[in-house]
Amino acid sequence: MPSQDLVPLDAPAAADPHQRLIQALRERDVILDNAGVGIVFVKQRVIMRCNQRYADIFGYADAAELLGGSSVDLYPDVQAFKRLGAEAYPVMATGQRYKTEQRMKRVSGGLFWASLTGCLIDPADPAAGSIWIVDDIDEQKRAEAELHSITAEQQLILDHSMVGIVFLRGRRVTRCNRAFETLFGYGPGELDGSSSRQWYLSDADWELAGQRCYEPFAAGRAFEGEMLLRRKDGSPLHCEVRSKAIDAQDLSLGSIWITMDITARKNAELALVAAKQELEQLVQQRTRQLSETVQALEQKVREQREAEAHIQQLAHFDALTGLPNRLLLDQRSQQALDIARRQGEPLALLFLDLDHFKNVNDSLGHRVGDELLKLLAQRLTAALREQDTVARLGGDEFVLLLPGTDAQGAARVAAKAMELATKPFQIERMELTVTPSIGIALHPGDGADFETLCRCADIAMYRAKQGGRNGFRFFTGEMQAQSLRALQLENALRRALERDQLWLCYQPQICMSSGRVIGAEALLRWSHPELGPVSPAEFIPVAEASGLILAIGEWVLRSAVRQLRQWLDGGMPALTLAVNLSSVQFRHADLPSLVSRLLAEAGLSPGLLELELTEGVAMVDPLGAIAVMNDLHERGVRMAIDDFGTGYSSLNYLKKFRANKLKIDQSFVRDIGSDPDDKAIVRAIISMARSLEMRTIAEGVETRDQLDFLRAQGCDEVQGYLFSRPLPAEDFRAFVTAYRPDVATGRTACR
Ligand code: C2E
Ligand code: MG
Ligand code: MG
């Protein structure tokens, strides 16, 4: 191709062949000048023609600047030029195009990548020159290099990543790194093209994973989560997964998944959870044990407290009625007295004792007795003020502590208590009534301390009983004196036996029909050096209350039978010796055997001894009395009921008493002459005794009229001053010896 053909021509279009050629050449020039690539015609290394693009590529302002220049200058160096020539020309010489990419040099000296495509104009004649199409591919080369480096980096990352990375498209593996394969137990390349289904446990899991990813993928966000997957060998694999669509706009381009084995962590977590659960269980168990222990402890403490409370209750309260007992009463009294002293206020202490309560117990049973006490306790408590105390000392003894109460108030309370106690009690379909005796002591008049007040109230109560029961008494100075006297007597009586101050005297008992002395009653005497003679009526109750009566009674019995022995030995005709028995002796279990022993000691026949028991004592415990009397009867000892007529004997029991004799109380005998009632009573007693086949003896017979009346009524025996006062043993013997019965006239010889 001639070089001028490439130079722009401005020849007009012609119809002749030359013109047409020119036209064609012009058209070609336009094409060349406007081609996007550089085109050059080189002949003998000289640039013959080139288009503007070519000049632009090499940095020349005008293509003309290049014309005539050596093409060698456009190469980085001569070697490069030659090397190209050596490679290109053999190829081009075969008529083929030679194509290469080569570094070229711009006019500025800067090198750049260019793509070169050359061909010879005439392969047969290389000297005819060659045409080269040149394009600046420097930019493209740089991009390629960059891409290459990025790709290399990527590969590096992929190859050396510790996490498994997989690229999926259509849920199939397009690429994955070694770590991914290793993680799931596959060999290199084994996963390529395969479905992701294989590392899911089930179809459902696989489906679910797809659904979970879709939304974040479409929104351009990453999906993050933990998944339980499986290795090739089926073993489970806990993975932490992060995945993202390569292009959120076009999900068909697939996604990248980064997976990390968290099995160890998961196992550790599971172990941790298990350990935590175990720990929690342990803690729960411990907590349970602890709470059980605490509960048990609390229960113990509760029981302890209850026990203590119970002990307190037992220690301070009466078990039957729940009322404060003596101990608590004592404490409360001390407090109340302290307050009363400080504030100068009065205080009243009431002793309440039921009359004949023993009868209730004995005849109706202890259950009824207990019930009655409980009901009475309730009534009393309900009737009193809050600051008052009702205490039970035991038995049927109650104490009322009334702070701030004077004599008037105390009397009101006593009257109220009387009323409450006497109101009928309904127990087991029975209606019971009892009467109380109440003694009242006042602070500060009667005493400053609890003990003194108690003693005073007790004395007053005792006097209320003596005064006919069913009433209340205030403590008085006279009572005080009497109680002092009792105390004095008791102290003196303790020494009376050992100091030989006791002695017996004997009062004859006369048979009405024969007029003879058929018996004697032994009566105790006490002469104290300072107190003088003390009446048994006074000291016997003291001896009974102090328990001294047992020793004294035994002494009396022994002395009496010994005396009788002496008399009999001395030739006195046989007579019955009557000895008085105290209720305390009578209730003593040892009595019958003691009596037998003493009789045996004295060598006396039991029939010579007659034991006198007062009617009251016999009736307090009739059944017990019957048993003892039976026993004594068996032993051959005789029994007489003393003071008969004062004890309200039940005829029922009387029948069963193994008594030989009823001793008509002297109070009836005394007034026989004047009191028609007494006459009637005496008459009744005698006829009753007769019907019971008992003998009668009247005591306290002082006058002939009394004697006559008694004789007229058929009384069997008499005893009294009319015949003789009680006499010392020696005098009695003399009396018996001197005594001459005058049966015909009924006269008696008295000393
Ligand atoms: P008692 O057993 O009823 O004794 C009869 C009491 O009447 C005696 O009083 C006696 O001295 C008195 N007496 C006898 N004849 C007459 C009379 O004609 N007129 C008057 N006014 N009195 C007469 P005493 O000796 O003072 O005894 C009083 C009570 O003491 C006795 O009553 C008896 O219950 C008790 N007693 C006396 N000695 C003993 C004893 O050794 N043991 C026991 N337990 N009690 C005794
Ligand atoms: Mg007597
Ligand atoms: Mg008597």
Task: Report how far ligand 3's centroid is from the alpha carbon of 562 (Å).
Answer: 23
For position 282, what pLDDT does the model report? 85
Residue 116 token pair: 């070169």
Residue 166 token pair: 């997989």
Residue nearest to atom 45 of ligand 1 (CA): 580
Average pLDDT, integer, range 101-115: 93
pLDDT tens per residue across span 545-590: 888 999 999 999 999 999 999 999 999 999 999 999 998 899 888 9
For position 429, what pLDDT does the model report? 85
Residue nearest to atom 23 of ligand 1 (CA): 700
Using the atom order of ligand 1, give the atom closest to the CA of residue 507: 14
Q: Is the CB of 536 under 6 A from ligand 1?
A: yes
**What is the helix (H) or strand (E) element at residue 225, kind and residue range?**
strand 223-230
CA distance 648 to 619: 8
CA distance 385 to 82: 141
Site to probe by mutation for ligand 1, drawn from 699, 704, 717, 725 as the one with most ligand atoms within 8 Å of Cβ, is 699
pLDDT tens per residue across span 221-269: 999 999 999 999 999 999 999 999 999 999 999 999 999 998 888 888 8
Using the predicted structure, report yes or no on whether residue 437 has a pLDDT greater than 80: yes
**What is the helix (H) or strand (E) element at residue 192, kind and residue range?**
none
pLDDT tens per residue across span 123-170: 988 889 999 999 999 899 889 889 999 988 888 888 888 889 999 999
CA distance 491 to 696: 38
Task: Report how far ligand 2's centroid is from the alpha carbon of 623 (Å).
Answer: 22
CA distance 137 to 266: 54
Using the predicted structure, report yes or no on whether residue 292 has a pLDDT greater than 90: no
pLDDT tens per residue across span 69-78: 998 989 999 9
Using the predicted structure, report yes or no on whether residue 653 has a pLDDT greater than 60: yes
Using the predicted structure, report yes or no on whether residue 743 has a pLDDT greater than 50: no
CB under 5 Å of ion ligand 2: residues: 580, 612, 642
Phi/psi zone of residue 515: left (φ > 0), alpha (ψ -120 to 50 degrees), beta?
Answer: left
Q: Is the CB of 524 under 6 A from ligand 1?
A: yes
Phi/psi zone of residue 97: left (φ > 0), alpha (ψ -120 to 50 degrees), beta?
Answer: beta
CB neighbours of residue 671 within 10 Å: 16
- Range 380-387 contact pairs with CB under 8 angstroms and sequence separation of 24 or more: 380/352, 380/417, 380/420, 381/323, 383/416, 383/417, 383/420, 384/413
For position 1, what pLDDT does the model report? 38
Strand partners, 638: 610
Which regions of 93-176 does DSSP assign to beta strands (E)?
98-105, 111-120, 130-136, 164-169, 172-176
- Specify whether the CB–CB gap between 743 and 514 falls below 8 A: yes
Phi, psi of 201 (to 5 degrees): -75, -35
Q: Is the CB of 615 under 6 A from ligand 1?
A: no
Q: Is the CB of 702 under 6 A from ligand 1?
A: yes
Task: Report how far ligand 3's centroid is from the alpha carbon of 158 (Å).
Answer: 137
**What is the helix (H) or strand (E) element at residue 576, kind and residue range?**
strand 576-581
Token look-up 């002297």 returns 666
Using the predicted structure, report yes or no on whether residue 460 has a pLDDT greater than 60: yes
- Specify whether the CB–CB gap between 350 and 410 falls below 8 A: yes
Band (pLDDT 50/70/90 cuts) for residue 655 is confident
CA distance 20 to 33: 20
Strand partners, 224: 242
Contacts of 683 (CB under 8 A, 6+ apart): 713
Q: Is the CB of 38 under 6 A from ligand 1?
A: no
Task: Report how far ligand 3's centroid is from the alpha carbon of 670 (Å).
Answer: 12
Closest CA to 702 of 676, 679, 671, 680: 671
CA distance 66 to 3: 13
Q: What is the dihedral of CA 717, 718, 724, 726, to 10 degrees?
A: 90
For position 505, what pLDDT does the model report? 97
Q: Is the CB of 715 under 6 A from ligand 1?
A: no
CB neighbours of residue 41 within 10 Å: 22
Residues 81-93 as b/e (b if ≥16 CB within 10 A, e otherwise) read beebbeebbebbe
Phi, psi of 505 (to 5 degrees): -125, 165
The chain-wide mean pLDDT, for the chain, equals: 89
Task: Report how far ligand 3's centroid is from the alpha carbon of 643 (Å).
Answer: 4
Residue 647 token pair: 């004890």
For position 277, what pLDDT does the model report? 85
Cα torsion angle, 168, 170, 173, 175, sign:
negative
Contacts of 317 (CB under 8 A, 6+ apart): 323, 324, 325, 328
Burial of 612 (0-12, 13-18, 19+ CB in 10 A): buried
Q: Is the CB of 724 under 6 A from ligand 1?
A: no
Task: Report how far ligand 3's centroid is from the alpha carbon of 650 (Å).
Answer: 19
Q: Is the CB of 580 under 6 A from ligand 1?
A: yes
Using the predicted structure, report yes or no on whether residue 10 has a pLDDT greater than 60: no
Band (pLDDT 50/70/90 cuts) for residue 443 is very high
Token look-up 């993680």 returns 183
For position 750, what pLDDT does the model report? 40
Average pLDDT, integer, range 68-94: 92
Band (pLDDT 50/70/90 cuts) for residue 744 is very low
Residue 306 token pair: 């209850």
Phi, psi of 621 (to 5 degrees): -135, 75
- Specify whether the CB–CB gap between 639 and 654 falls below 8 A: no
For position 250, what pLDDT does the model report? 92
Closest CA to 462 of 449, 450, 478, 448: 478
Average pLDDT, integer, range 720-743: 90
Least confident range from 41-45, 158-162, 393-397, 426-430: namely 158-162
Cα torsion angle, 609, 615, 618, 622, sign:
positive
For position 28, what pLDDT does the model report? 81
Rg of the chain, C-alpha, whole Å:
73
CA distance 728 to 522: 10
Question: 407-422 and 366-383 helices cross at what angle (nearest 10)?
Answer: 140
Which regions of 448-534 does DSSP assign to beta strands (E)?
471-474, 502-511, 517-528, 532-534
- Specify whether the CB–CB gap between 223 and 242 falls below 8 A: yes
Using the atom order of ligand 1, give the atom closest to the CA of residue 535: 26
Percent of the chain predicted with pLDDT > 90: 66
Closest CA to 50 of 38, 37, 58, 61: 38
Residue-by-residue DSSP string for 425-439 = EEETTEEE---EEEE
Using the predicted structure, report yes or no on whether residue 12 has a pLDDT greater than 60: no
Percent of the chain predicted with pLDDT > 70: 96
Question: 477-496 and 450-466 helices cross at what angle (nearest 10)?
Answer: 90
Which regions of 57-161 does DSSP assign to beta strands (E)?
98-105, 111-120, 130-136
Residue 406 token pair: 């004077």
Band (pLDDT 50/70/90 cuts) for residue 746 is low
Using the predicted structure, report yes or no on whether residue 65 has a pLDDT greater than 70: yes
Using the atom order of ligand 1, give the atom closest to the CA of residue 665: 3
Cα torsion angle, 659, 660, 666, 670, sign:
positive
Peptide bond just before 324 cis, omega within 30 deg: no
Q: Is the CB of 523 under 6 A from ligand 1?
A: yes
**What is the helix (H) or strand (E) element at residue 488, kind and residue range?**
helix 477-496
pLDDT tens per residue across span 335-345: 999 999 999 99
For position 275, what pLDDT does the model report? 83
Residue 90 token pair: 């053999």
Closest CA to 672 of 663, 681, 685, 684: 681
For position 749, what pLDDT does the model report? 42
Task: Report how far ligand 1's centroid is from the alpha carbon of 523 (Å).
Answer: 6
Strand partners, 237: 229
CA distance 697 to 664: 6
CA distance 443 to 337: 8
pTM over 0.75: no
pLDDT tens per residue across span 483-529: 778 888 999 999 999 999 999 999 999 999 999 999 999 999 999 99
Q: Is the CB of 700 under 6 A from ligand 1?
A: yes
Q: Is the CB of 140 under 6 A from ligand 1?
A: no
Which regions of 10-79 does DSSP assign to beta strands (E)?
38-43, 46-50
Contacts of 673 (CB under 8 A, 6+ apart): 703, 705, 706, 709
CA distance 739 to 751: 9
Token look-up 């489906």 returns 207
For position 648, what pLDDT does the model report? 64
Question: 450-466 and 326-343 helices cross at what angle (nearest 10)?
Answer: 110
Average pLDDT, integer, range 272-300: 85
Residue 67 token pair: 């014309």
